[in-house]
Amino acid sequence: MQRPLAHARPLLYMFVDERIELLNPGRRFVVACVVCGQRSWDRALPAAQRVGSLRKSRRLQAIAQVLHSTNGFAVLTRADVPGHLAMAGEADGTEDVPRMSRMDNLWSQSVLCTVTAALACLRGASVTAAKIDLFYDPKSLTLNHRNACHETLRATLPDIAREDPETHEFLPIPTFHFGRIEQIPKCGGGARAGALQTGITLAHHLCCECKSLIRGAAPQRIVVRDHTNAVLSMISKFIGERGCPTQPKLAES
């Protein structure tokens, strides 16, 4: 992949959306994170707004062209979760989130993994500092769960991005800072989508292309990752002996 945003100190957008597909048995959690400069996104907005009106066979290439025009990139991840773990009726708890549904827990762990991968791509592209505004499709989390996710994004993931992969020491750079972290509903009712809604919708269209992206080579500027092992490792912390829940801290994931 070419180096997007190289040697820059940009103001960035991250647009995040998810898709949950049924497996036999279990479920596949797919998350897309679109990353681009804020100014270049405004210029590319008309092209991004047209993606949904294209034939499905042309959408993936159109998404790649939007990413190229913004000098951005996207990360698409999947996590295949067995049926006994992806159970809608199960509840988990942590020190900072006393109760959350298992499905919401899997969603948040998948999203945090994907954003971590996006930060790693920025670091690999020699971006030494960035302020990031992150927007995601609304999710009915509890207030404690939402606050814990936002705190992990702001306090934990930037530290992970500074960790040397070999020595595990913290380096002075890169310095990533999350500014706005907000839910943005997709546009409905035939209204024209705004800039932030269009970003969420673009991530949605990328999620819809997950089967072809997983099967074959992804276009330039689209990175595909299998996060199954990472997500299952995180969820295993919530399952003690004989299925008894444990009490990890969400921000440790």
* Helix runs in 125-172, H state only: 143-151, 157-161
From 3.90.15.10, 2.102.10.10, 3.50.50.60, 3.30.420.10, which CATH number describes the 11-252 domain?
3.30.420.10
pLDDT at 246: 42
> CA-CA distance, 99 to 120, in Å (whole number)?
31
| Helices (runs of H) and strands (runs of E) counted in the chain | 8, 8
- For the stretch 131-175, pLDDT in tens is 999 999 999 899 999 999 999 999 999 999 998 877 878 888 899
Q: CB of 246 within 8 A of CB of 238?
A: yes
Q: CB of 79 within 8 A of CB of 29?
A: yes
Beta strands in the chain (DSSP E): 11-22, 27-37, 73-81, 91-92, 100-101, 129-136, 175-183, 222-226
The domain ranges of the chain are 11-252
> CA-CA distance, 81 to 100, in Å (whole number)?
17
User: Of 67, 139, 131, 89, whose CA–CA distance to 110 is shortest?
Assistant: 139
> CA-CA distance, 37 to 42, in Å (whole number)?
9
> CA-CA distance, 37 to 44, in Å (whole number)?
10
> CA-CA distance, 126 to 2, in Å (whole number)?
12
Q: Assign 63 a pLDDT band (cuts: 50, 70, 90).
A: very high
- Is residue 30 pLDDT above 60, yes or no? yes
